[in-house]
Homo-oligomer: A and B are copies of this chain.
Amino acid sequence: MSQADASAEPEAVAGNGLLHRRLFLTRGLTLAGAMGVAGHAHAQVAPPKHPEWMMRQGTGLSGYGQPSKFEDGVKRIMGQPNPLTPTLGSTRTPLEKLTGMITPNGLHFERHHSSVPDINPDAHSLLIHGLVRQPQKWDMSALMRYPMTSVIRFIECSGNSGAAKRAVPQTSVGQIHGLLSCSEWTGVKLSHLLDETGLADGASWIIAEGAEASSMVRSIPLKTALDDVIVALYQNGERIRPEQGYPMRLLVPGCEGSVNVKWVHRIKVVNGPGHSRDETGQYTDLLPDGRALQYTLILGPKSLIIHPSVGMKMSQPGFYEISGLAWSGHGAVRRVEVTADGGKSWADAELTEPVLSKCLTRFRMPWSWNGGPATLASRATDDRGNVQPTHAVAIANYGEVGAYHYNGIQPWAVAQTGEVANVRM
């Protein structure tokens, strides 16, 4: 559809009403009628009367702002905690209430294996020892002197999306997929610190330990550690929040959440992975033959349609913008395809710039819903050519019983009532 042709029918690009992704870049397009939101479109529209908040003074300046009271419902999604261990568990990012690619710090998902330690940064330090030429220890003021780097990267818990794997019928997209957030992280490249200690013969892995009561211990290949791992000190501009690892955490871009060790205080350079409790009792993938995959750290290509998604109700037939998120632990998202007919036909969605490596990418796609049943789904391809798998392939990759690494295509069924359900395609 060209700019000069805005009054023509929008170009269908796949079955069941999917329209060309560039449609919304067209000038001269009128949407209100097609969306059923043109109720106010009459010449007698009057300038607004002065509402009450224009007739009185409001609130004043503040040192640290908070959301509007009308957004009180926008909170991290809490699970049902075990009453014997109320401080451990997880909260999820309410993806369905957010948009863009940045997650505000207050809504970044949490996953704690014991609780959030109340660390005094002046008493915290980072030690690197083991197979190094010279062990070294940095306190905050020493670390703050180093050159820093900033990157926008997602963090996803490898246990994310378990309810999608099991096609749990009624829930919300945040409840299913909200162990996923994205921030601008700033800190010191771990390679700078390993250059200070030097590496001894045989060094091939590192083991990172957190300073919380349960001490998360995870192993990372040295090659990864020397590549793009950061000792992160800042999140979206300000110091990292306590529940994200204050005063410092590892950022291991593209790798499962738990290796992004929070409250990190010790890194040991070793000659092989540590087989810690946190990577044997958890975070392994049990296969049908009884073997378990270990150290499957890199998160595969994945995407989600968020608008519309399970639990939402579409008010009436007409024009909609389908939008969602795509990401890959291997690199940048190259392509997101969308289907509205349960996978019979697919078309490319528009990717919102900037499209960054190991970062969430927002995709958008115009859709004309005819009011009939529709099955919507998205499929991500990354710049290494990895394609988000079907449910069957995802199960074959990581086993059926495990809770980790599920990245199968997520379909939503839209009923004639407009209700959206979580289904298997």
Contact = CB atoms under 8 A, between A and B. Distances in A.
Contact of A150 (B101, B134, B236): B101
B24 A147 contact: yes
Contacts of A203: none
A25 to B, nearest CB: 9
Contacts of A282: none
A129 interface: yes
Interface residues of A, number: 128
Interface in A29-60: 29-32, 35, 37-43, 45, 47-48, 51, 53-60
Nearest to A234: B99
Contacts of A115: 57-60
Interface stretch (A119-127, A252-260, A371-379): A119-127
Given A61-B87, A68-B246, A145-B320, A119 B53 contact: yes
A282 to B, nearest CB: 18
A150 B43 CA distance: 32
A243 interface: yes
Interface stretch (A102-110, A291-299, A402-410): A102-110
B352 A149 contact: yes
| Count of this chain's copies in the oligomeric assembly | 2
A297 to B, nearest CB: 22
Interface in A260-305: 265-266
Given A114-B57, A266-B47, A237 B41 contact: no
Interface in A55-81: 55-71, 74-76, 78, 81
A228 interface: no
Contact of A239 (B48, B64, B67, B191): B67
Given A37-B142, A64-B74, 18 more contacts: A30-B195, A31-B147, A31-B196, A53-B119, A53-B120, A54-B212, A54-B213, A55-B213, A57-B114, A60-B81, A61-B81, A61-B110, A63-B76, A68-B246, A70-B247, A104-B237, A148-B323, A152-B354
13 contacts: A28-B195, A31-B196, A32-B142, A38-B196, A43-B134, A62-B91, A64-B74, A64-B75, A65-B105, A67-B241, A98-B234, A146-B321, A152-B354
